[in-house]
């Protein structure tokens, strides 16, 4: 009975583990939408929480339009609003309205008359008109608003980013929108959104304000805003969000004392706000629309808002009327939340130090261990239960996890719900299926699984003696090839609305033709990994010249991708659309590996594994570093010496402590025997020899001679030019052995 308990506990562990492996390795995006929807549900189950007393909203609503006229209002009205709010004693005033265009105080026709374009006025008349218009300009609505903002001394204005068009840095008058102080970053930041320019307030308004902050919204995959980007990169600056500026101003922390730790968070005095690596802060929504004190702009202008309602508070001025698009979905009900109230939720999250922590995430060992423990324990218990009781028992671990996640959320901790639940469902489902039928049909499953791999007599023996089943392989020297499409992410973006087109491009333009080329040269396709192919030679069939066949396949793939690009370009031109050519990188390595049936008792595949496989994958990744199409390892070069291969470097790749010599495969044996290639090979060797001896002048001279051979290698030599310059300025010391440490994969 102990063996039976262990068997079913193990089955639960394996099923749950497979789901978690999928979630961590490749399926996290598939679960994202369901996970975020579960977060909204957790908000509703938690209910409304009272907002802090620090914030009040003044919104331009339908009643304001009826009382004050068409939108947008003249800036004189906003100037009066600032004066009224200042007089009421507000501590911070922040606009959620962009003032990017000037309000014309002088009609264009009068400007033309003053400039003489109409030709209807004499010179004296034009001068008199110009002088009068200058006086009128000085009293423009923009100037009045700037004067009111400057007099208040506590007004913050928004800016918005653009993501298309030419790149522009912040102008001098807006440079303080970026963080000025930087703390040490514990991990590298990731910025999925990279603006190219900013829509800024008018210079006069920006100079009058005490600060600027961006108001761009971070939408999740389902179009709901659940985060605020506390910083976004623009040129050399990292621009703060308006909620951060408001929180700092309210806390009385000078902007020069607010520090950012890229990829970790923001420090506002003693207040440390943690973010994820993308500088995103989850918004802890307090409740539905109207949770924060909200007043009509019309009531403010009519004197209907008591000073006490604004005194000492942060006053956010925004717009929310019929036809205004600045409203977004929230976790509470179907009524959309005004964008200004969303901002209030962010500010309140920061000021109350009530942010939702995500430090325990789907990659946490504690979560994985807990799920596996529940799955294993459920399997062990199920082995003792009657069959009818097992279905009810299967619901228990799922209910336990759901309850645990909600309790954690009540303490502001966002634990993953979806993939653990799916893992537990998979575990319990596997156990139930096992009990209801798998055991009785074990022999049949074994025969079905192995009839294509083993002799019929051996399959029958395993069916009657399943404990003799062993998965494994044999050690063989093989040549391994990895190839994938460069910049596949950007290609996928262009096909976001046309997934069929992307599938056609990958299958017809890459996987099918490249697989045919490999198999025609006696290669074995191991697997497809998205836009990547893994193949090897000399297993399961013997291929004596496996290194040569791998090199021949690589060059054939280079030629084939040219033909594929021409074909797809012609099709695109006929259909009137654009087409960006595909580029591939190929890495080849040779070495001893374990080859055979690998996997679990339920699922396995014929594959290769070992250090040589890992190195081949790393070499493919280095094609981008060295700007060549094909890189082969030293053992492959030794096994295929006749090909035109140029030594690139001596590198230490990620995951290895020994340096390996790598080569760029440029052509076949005919090219290798050409005078031009032999001359280039000698010059390359001379350059590398000087480089490794730290003879920088000699290396530069040899590098200059190398450049005369092939313009396609210019980027490679630019790389070495940069390295030589760096080492000239920062000598590596006498212990340097010329090895380049490749930190990236």
Q: Kindly give the parts of the chain with pLDDT less than 50.
A: 1, 360-363, 440, 449-459, 461-462, 467-470
- Do 259 and 328 share a domain, yes or no? yes
Q: Which residues contact 322 (CB under 8 A, 6 or more apart)?
A: 62
- Do 187 and 261 share a domain, yes or no? yes
Q: Yes or no: say if 148 and 79 are a contact pair by the CB < 8 Å rule.
A: yes
Q: Residue 273 falls within a domain, yes or no?
A: yes
Taking the CB of residue 306, how many other CB atoms lie within 10 A of it?
A: 10
268-296 as b/e, with b when 16 or more CB fall inside 10 Å?
A: beeeebebbbbbbbbbbbbbbbebbbbbb
Q: What is the pLDDT of residue 459?
A: 45
What pairs with residue 160 in β-bridges?
199
Query: Secondary structure of 120-153 in the HEC alphabet?
Result: CCCHHHHHHHHHHHHHHHHCCHHHHHHHHHHHHC
**Listed residue (638, 659, 517, 674) closest to 586, CA to CA:** 517
- Give Cα 75 to chain centroid, integer Å: 40
Q: How many helices (H) and strands (E) does the chain have?
A: 26, 27
Please tell me the distance from the alpha carbon of residue 269 to that of residue 330, in angstroms, as a whole number: 30
Please tell me the distance from the alpha carbon of residue 485 to that of residue 507, in angstroms, as a whole number: 12
For residue 89, which phi and psi values (nearest 5 degrees)? 95, 25
For residue 535, which phi and psi values (nearest 5 degrees)? -140, 160
pLDDT tens track for 101-118: 998 655 555 556 655 555
- Do 117 and 147 share a domain, yes or no? no
Q: Residue 694 falls within a domain, yes or no?
A: no
Q: Residue 603 falls within a domain, yes or no?
A: yes
Q: Yes or no: say if 375 and 10 are a contact pair by the CB < 8 Å rule.
A: no
Locus of tokens 């992410």 = 489
What is the pTM for the complete model shown?
0.53
CA dihedral 108, 110, 115, 117 (to 10 degrees): 80
CATH of the domain at 656: 3.30.70.1230
- Do 109 and 213 share a domain, yes or no? no
In degrees, rounded to 5, the angle at the alpha carbon of residue 341 between the alpha carbons of residues 409 and 310 is: 115
Please tell me the distance from the alpha carbon of residue 642 to that of residue 670, in angstroms, as a whole number: 9
Locus of tokens 């108001």 = 215
149 to each of 24, 83, 115, how far by Cα in Å? 51, 8, 32
DSSP secondary structure letters along 244-270? HHHHHHHHT--GGGEEEETTTEEEETT
User: Which of 643, 673, 703 is the C-terminal boundary of a domain?
Assistant: 673
Is 7 exposed, middle or buried, given 0-12, 13-18 or 19+ CB atoms closer than 10 A? Answer: middle
User: Which of 673, 704, 736 is the C-terminal boundary of a domain?
Assistant: 673
Q: Yes or no: say if 536 and 526 are a contact pair by the CB < 8 Å rule.
A: yes
Half-sphere exposure of 464 (CA within 13 A, CB side): 5
Please tell me the distance from the alpha carbon of residue 36 to that of residue 7, in angstroms, as a whole number: 35
Q: Yes or no: say if 220 and 226 are a contact pair by the CB < 8 Å rule.
A: yes
- Do 95 and 118 share a domain, yes or no? no
For residue 694, which phi and psi values (nearest 5 degrees)? 65, 30
Q: Yes or no: say if 719 and 622 are a contact pair by the CB < 8 Å rule.
A: no
- Do 422 and 517 share a domain, yes or no? no
**Listed residue (4, 726, 734, 9) closest to 428, CA to CA:** 9
Q: Token pair for residue 100?
A: 């990017």
Taking the CB of residue 436, how many other CB atoms lie within 10 A of it?
A: 11
- Do 523 and 489 share a domain, yes or no? yes
**Listed residue (266, 301, 296) closest to 280, CA to CA:** 266
**Listed residue (474, 458, 476) closest to 466, CA to CA:** 458
Domain encompassing residue 66: 55-103+140-351
Q: Token pair for residue 491?
A: 């290609």
- Do 182 and 203 share a domain, yes or no? yes
- Give Cα 291 to chain centroid, integer Å: 33
Please tell me the distance from the alpha carbon of residue 196 to that of residue 503, in angstroms, as a whole number: 31
Q: Yes or no: say if 724 and 699 are a contact pair by the CB < 8 Å rule.
A: yes
Q: Residue 64 falls within a domain, yes or no?
A: yes
Q: Yes or no: say if 622 and 642 are a contact pair by the CB < 8 Å rule.
A: no
Give the number of domains in the chain: 4
234 to each of 160, 211, 220, 222, 534, how far by Cα in Å? 11, 17, 21, 26, 39
**Listed residue (165, 205, 365, 189) closest to 280, CA to CA:** 189
- Do 219 and 96 share a domain, yes or no? yes
Q: Residue 476 falls within a domain, yes or no?
A: yes
For residue 468, which phi and psi values (nearest 5 degrees)? -85, -5
Please tell me the distance from the alpha carbon of residue 343 to that of residue 551, in angstroms, as a whole number: 58
Q: What is the pLDDT of residue 457?
A: 41
DSSP secondary structure letters along 461-488? HHHH-GGG---EEEEEEEEEEEEEETTH
Peptide linkage before 540 cis (omega within 30 of 0) = yes
**Listed residue (419, 418, 415, 423) closest to 379, CA to CA:** 423
DSSP tag of 650: E
Q: Residue 679 falls within a domain, yes or no?
A: no
Q: Token pair for residue 320?
A: 């929310």
Q: Residue 531 falls within a domain, yes or no?
A: yes
Please tell me the distance from the alpha carbon of residue 481 to that of residue 589, in angstroms, as a whole number: 7
- Do 6 and 31 share a domain, yes or no? yes
Please tell me the distance from the alpha carbon of residue 216 to that of residue 218, in angstroms, as a whole number: 7
Q: Token pair for residue 362?
A: 């789907």
User: Which of 646, 673, 700 is the C-terminal boundary of a domain?
Assistant: 673
- DSSP-H helix ranges across 352-487: 365-382, 387-410, 418-433, 442-450, 456-464
**Listed residue (9, 15, 7) closest to 423, CA to CA:** 15
Query: Secondary structure of 198-244 in the HEC alphabet?
Result: EECCCHHHHHHCCEEEECCCEECCCCCEEEEECEEEECCEEEEEHHH
- Do 487 and 347 share a domain, yes or no? no
Strand bridging mode 181-182 / 258-261: parallel
- Do 637 and 504 share a domain, yes or no? yes
Name the 3-class secondary structure at 520.
helix
Q: Residue 558 falls within a domain, yes or no?
A: yes
């Amino acid at each position: 009975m102990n063996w039976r308990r262990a068997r079913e506990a193990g089955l639960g562990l394996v099923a749950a583990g497979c789901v978690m492996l999928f979630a961590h390795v490749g399926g996290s995006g598939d679960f994202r939408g369901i996970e975020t929807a579960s977060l909204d549900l957790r908000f509703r189950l938690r209910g409304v929480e009272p907002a802090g007393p620090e914030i009040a909203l003044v919104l331009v609503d339908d009643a304001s339009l009826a009382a004050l006229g068409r939108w947008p209002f003249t800036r004189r009205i906003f100037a009066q609003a600032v004066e009224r709010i200042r007089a009421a004693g507000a501590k911070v005033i922040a606009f959620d309205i962009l003032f990017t265009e000037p309000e014309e105080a002088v009609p264009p026709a009068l400007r033309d008359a003053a400039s003489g374009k109409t030709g209807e006025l004499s010179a004296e008349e034009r001068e008199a008109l110009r002088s009068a218009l200058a006086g009128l300009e000085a009293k423009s609505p923009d100037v009045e608003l700037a004067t009111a903002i400057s007099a208040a001394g506590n007004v913050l204005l928004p800016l918005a980013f653009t993501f298309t068009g030419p790149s522009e840095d912040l102008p001098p008058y807006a440079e303080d929108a970026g963080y000025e102080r930087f703390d040490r970053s514990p991990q590298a930041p990731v910025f999925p959104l990279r603006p190219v320019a900013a829509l800024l307030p008018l210079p006069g308004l920006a100079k009058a304000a005490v600060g600027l902050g961006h108001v761009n919204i971070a939408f999740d995959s389902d179009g709901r805003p659940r985060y605020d980007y506390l910083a976004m990169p623009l040129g050399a600056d990292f621009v703060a969000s308006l909620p951060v500026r408001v929180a700092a101003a309210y806390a009385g922390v000078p902007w020069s004392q607010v520090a950012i730790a890229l990829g970790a968070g923001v420090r506002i005095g003693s207040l440390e706000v943690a973010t994820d690596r993308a500088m995103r802060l989850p918004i802890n929504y307090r409740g539905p629309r109207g949770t924060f004190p909200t007043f009509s702009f019309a009531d403010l202008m009519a004197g209907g808002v008591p000073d006490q309602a604004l005194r000492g508070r942060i006053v956010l001025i925004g717009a929310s009327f019929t036809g205004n698009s600045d409203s977004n979905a929230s976790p509470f009900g179907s009524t959309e939340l005004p964008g200004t109230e969303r901002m209030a939720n962010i500010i309140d999250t920061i000021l109350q130090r009530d942010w939702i922590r995500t430090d325990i995430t789907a990659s946490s060992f504690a979560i994985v261990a807990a799920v596996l423990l529940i799955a294993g324990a459920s399997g062990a218990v199920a082995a003792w239960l009657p069959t009818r009781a097992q279905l009810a028992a299967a619901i228990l671990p799922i209910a336990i996890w759901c309850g645990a996640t909600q309790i954690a959320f009540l303490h502001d901790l966002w634990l993953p719900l979806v993939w653990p639940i799916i893992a537990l469902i998979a575990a319990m489902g596997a156990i139930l299926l096992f009990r209801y039928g798998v055991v009785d049909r074990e022999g049949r499953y074994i025969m079905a699984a192995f009839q294509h791999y083993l002799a019929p007599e051996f399959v029958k023996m395993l069916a009657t003696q399943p404990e003799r089943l062993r998965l494994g392989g044999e050690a063989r020297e093989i040549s391994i090839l990895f190839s994938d499409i460069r910049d596949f992410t950007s290609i996928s973006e262009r096909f976001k609305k046309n997934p069929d087109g992307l599938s056609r491009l990958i299958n017809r333009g890459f996987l099918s033709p490249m697989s045919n080329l490999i198999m025609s040269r006696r290669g074995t396709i191991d697997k497809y990994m998205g836009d990547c192919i893994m193949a090897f030679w000399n297993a399961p069939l013997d291929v004596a010249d496996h290194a040569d066949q791998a090199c021949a396949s690589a060059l054939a793939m280079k030629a084939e991708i040219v033909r594929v690009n021409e074909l797809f370009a012609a099709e695109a031109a006929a259909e009137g659309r654009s087409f960006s050519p595909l580029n591939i990188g190929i890495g080849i390595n040779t070495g001893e590996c374990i080859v055979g049936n690998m996997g679990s008792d339920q699922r396995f595949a014929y594959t290769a594994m070992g250090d040589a496989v890992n190195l081949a994958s790393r070499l493919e990744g280095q094609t981008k570093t060295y700007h060549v199409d094909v890189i082969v390892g030293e053992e492959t070069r030794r096994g295929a010496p006749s090909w035109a291969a140029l030594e690139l470097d001596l590198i230490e790749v990620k995951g290895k402590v020994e340096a390996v010599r790598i080569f760029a495969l440029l052509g076949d044996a005919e090219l290798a025997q050409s005078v031009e290639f032999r001359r280039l090979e000698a010059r390359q060797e001379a350059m590398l020899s000087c480089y490794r001896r730290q003879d920088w002048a000699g290396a530069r001279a040899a590098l200059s001679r190398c450049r005369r051979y092939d313009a396609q290698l210019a980027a490679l030599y630019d790389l070495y030019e940069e390295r030589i310059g760096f080492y000239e300025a920062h000598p590596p010391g006498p212990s340097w052995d010329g090895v380049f440490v490749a930190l990236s994969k």
